[in-house]
Homo-oligomer: A and B are copies of this chain.
């Protein structure tokens, strides 16, 4: 039995029909064939017909590689996101793809798994494969040397706008302030911000900053920063532990919707009902949010639109147009069912007066009875 590679080797001699074959079949030079097939120059009607028919008969199609080598444009765009497993980035890539395809470009999609070293490595690889442009979400665009040396246009996504690069983004600070306003409007004063990868994510930091700023402006105590790592976030008990360590809080702002769901779930494990005993607000507005029994209150953004905008601005840059930074993409606060007014019990009886150790005991007691 012949393996594929043997077959491939055997076939590779005359495997693909090139424009030369077409020219020979049509009885003309390759230049003419190229002109006809690309409609890029003069050709007699009769010759056009001959060439086109030859191409059809032979089943010819251009080699993108030959073209790229000659024209120095690969018609590909390198895309770097932290992970495709996060639907926010996946949707953004879908938007990028939809937009790029219309212009004849192919996205080269890469994910770094949130690893800064991989970021650099991927960027280098992408640049080496002659991409015509770059659409990037990474740990630290400002620190990246590969990004700095890029000789092609770059669009950023999700990041805060960075001088020197066009960015498709939502105003994280403003959105986080809105979250704070919502909490405060409902009487919350003891707030927390739950973050994943706080150190590596400018998005997380901006959200916290906005959250904090609005709290201060309203005379509400600074929100507590609660950092979590990936692994713990996936394990309900670990999340519950973290929650238990901060018993006085009545409102939690999660840096993304998954985290918000995890928090909600963990609260349940501790016997605390959302939103009766704890209010939770998320970020992103992922699709399932609507469908839940208690719909998530969250900042709703349109990741697909972000991808499309990034692709569009990149296309403009690649066309040589002057790059202008578009305004931030819109967001809305989606009123779900995970935000409620602070109950009197929470506000007066517990959170305000009792020492936090008391809460801790209470919480753990409830946990035991509940499990």
Contact = CB atoms under 8 A, between A and B. Distances in A.
A103 interface: no
Interface stretch (A20-28, A82-90, A173-181): A82-90
A149 B74 CA distance: 24
A106 B94 contact: no
Contacts of A113: 98
Interface in A138-179: 149, 151, 153
B110 A97 contact: yes
Contact of A292 (B61, B293, B304): B293
A290 B5 CA distance: 45
A218 interface: no
A359 to B, nearest CB: 23
A288 B261 contact: yes
A40 interface: no
A319 interface: yes
Nearest to A319: B5
Contacts of A64: 128-130
A11 B1 CA distance: 52
Nearest to A125: B106
A270 interface: no
A293 B261 CA distance: 9
Given A6-B320, A128-B63, A84 B72 contact: no
A130 B18 CA distance: 13
A8 B153 CA distance: 10
Size bracket, chain A contacts: 35 or more
Given A90-B84, A107-B109, A124-B61, A151 B15 contact: yes
Interface string A260-295: 011011001000000000000000000110111110
Given A128-B62, A130-B64, A288-B288, A153 B106 contact: no
Contacts of A66: 69
Contacts of A290: 236, 265
B111 A94 contact: yes
A63 B130 contact: yes
B97 A111 contact: yes
A129 B106 contact: yes
A85 B91 contact: yes
Contacts of A264: 291, 293
A3 B320 contact: yes
A354 interface: no
A264 B65 CA distance: 50
Contacts of A293: 264-265, 268, 292-294
A127 interface: yes
A108 B108 contact: yes
Given A61-B124, A85-B304, A3 B322 contact: yes
17 contacts: A3-B322, A4-B317, A4-B321, A5-B318, A5-B319, A61-B127, A84-B84, A84-B90, A84-B97, A85-B91, A106-B108, A106-B110, A107-B108, A261-B291, A265-B292, A293-B293, A293-B294
Interface of A: 1, 3-6, 8, 11-12, 15-16, 59, 61-66, 68-69, 72, 74, 76, 83-85, 87, 90-91, 93-94, 97-98, 101, 106-111, 113, 124-125, 127-130, 149, 151, 153, 236, 258, 261-262, 264-265, 268, 287-288, 290-294, 304, 317-323
